[in-house]
Amino acid sequence: MEHREYSDTKMILVDNLQIHQAANLFPEMGQEEIEKLAADIKGNGMQVPIALDDDGKVIDGRNRLRACKLLNRKTVEALTHRVSGDATIRFVISQNLHRRHLTESQRADIAARLAGGLHGGDRSKAQICALTQAEAAKQMGISERSLQNAKFVHQHGIGPLQSALTQGDIPATTAAELATLPPEEQKETVTAGARAAKAKAAEVRRKRTHFISDDVHTAPEEEKKERFRKLASFILKLYLELPENYQKSLIKSIAKKAPVRMWLDSAEDDAA
Q: What's the pLDDT at 29?
A: 87
- Residue 185 and residue 247 in one domain: no
* CATH code for position 41: 3.90.1530.10
In 3D space, the residue among 121, 207, 264 whose CA is nearest the CA of residue 199 turns out to be 207
Q: Is the pLDDT of residue 223 over 80?
A: no
Asked if residue 93 belongs to a domain, the reply is: no
Q: What contacts 161, CB < 8 A, 6 or more positions away?
A: 153, 170, 175, 178, 179, 186, 190
Q: What's the pLDDT at 8?
A: 65
Q: Tell me the percentage of the chain whose pLDDT exceeds 70.
A: 75
- Is residue 77 classed as helix, strand or coil in its secondary structure? strand
- Residue 71 and residue 36 in one domain: yes
In 3D space, the residue among 250, 256, 254, 259 whose CA is nearest the CA of residue 217 turns out to be 259
For the ranges 75-84, 194-203, 261-270, the lowest mean pLDDT is seen at: 261-270
The alpha-helical segments, DSSP class H, found in the chain are 21-24, 31-44, 62-70, 86-96, 104-116, 133-140, 144-156, 159-166, 172-178, 183-192, 194-210, 221-239, 244-254, 258-271
d(C-alpha 108, C-alpha 42), whole Å: 36
Domain boundary among 193, 210, 227: 210
Asked if residue 227 belongs to a domain, the reply is: yes
More confident residue, 256 or 136: 136
Asked if residue 92 belongs to a domain, the reply is: no
Give per-residue pLDDT as tens, 43-92.
999 999 999 998 899 999 999 999 999 999 999 999 998 887 778 888 89
Domains: count for the chain: 3
- Residue 172 and residue 233 in one domain: no
- Residue 201 and residue 223 in one domain: no
Asked if residue 94 belongs to a domain, the reply is: no
* CATH code for position 154: 1.10.10
- Write down the pTM of the prediction: 0.67
Asked if residue 188 belongs to a domain, the reply is: yes
- Is residue 118 classed as helix, strand or coil in its secondary structure? coil
In 3D space, the residue among 223, 232, 218, 227 whose CA is nearest the CA of residue 260 turns out to be 232
- For 47, other C-beta atoms within 10 Å of its C-beta total 9
Domain boundary among 87, 122, 148: 87
- Residue 53 and residue 76 in one domain: yes
Domain boundary among 210, 237, 260: 210
Give per-residue pLDDT as tens, 140-193.
999 999 999 999 999 999 999 999 999 889 999 999 999 989 999 999 999 999
- Residue 206 and residue 140 in one domain: yes
- Residue 196 and residue 223 in one domain: no
User: What is the residue range of 179's domain?
Assistant: 102-210
Question: Which CB contacts under 8 angstroms, 24+ apart, belong to 203-212?
Answer: 204/177, 204/178, 204/180, 205/177, 208/234
Q: Is the pLDDT of residue 110 over 80?
A: yes
- Residue 28 and residue 82 in one domain: yes
d(C-alpha 105, C-alpha 213), whole Å: 29
